[in-house]
Amino acid sequence: MDTEDTNKQYYNVFEALEDDPEVAENLRIRAQLMTILRKYIKENKITQKEAAEIMNVTQPRISDLIRGKIGLFTVDMLVNMLSHVKIQIDVVVKKAA
């Protein structure tokens, strides 16, 4: 590893893990949406089965969400799940740092 690599600063962990900036950004967005859904489940003290019914997915899908299996989710799927629990998403677009 050369010195330039060790001193490089990253905007987020996904940027550090992914060479492709588009993939890194998609991962970052999915992680944020998944965090919101996990927080909803925890704060409302609902079971995975209840969450699955509310979000119109299977219980194993909720288990994947809780376990952070980010690769199993698309932005579309997460937006749909959030919609089922009446969480609105506002999009803010800004130039990257």
> Is the pLDDT score of 2 beyond 60?
no
Task: Look at residue 96 in the predicted model and tell me its pLDDT.
Answer: 75
**pLDDT tens profile 42-72:** 999 999 999 999 999 999 999 999 999 999 9
Q: Is the dihedral of CA 81, 84, 88, 93 positive or negative?
A: positive
More confident residue, 32 or 18: 32
- Residue 24 — very low, low, confident or very high, per pLDDT cuts 50/70/90? confident
Instruction: Give the containing element (helix H, strand E) for 15.
Output: helix 13-17
Superfamily of domain 10-84: lambda repressor-like DNA-binding domains (1.10.260.40)
> Is the pLDDT score of 4 beyond 60?
no
**pLDDT tens profile 9-18:** 655 555 555 6
Task: Look at residue 38 in the predicted model and tell me its pLDDT.
Answer: 98
The token duo for 7 is: 């001193």
The token duo for 49 is: 């089965």
Q: Which residues contact 2 (CB under 8 A, 6 or more apart)?
A: none
Rounded Cα gap, residues 50 and 69, in angstroms: 20
Question: What does the pLDDT average to over 27-46?
Answer: 97
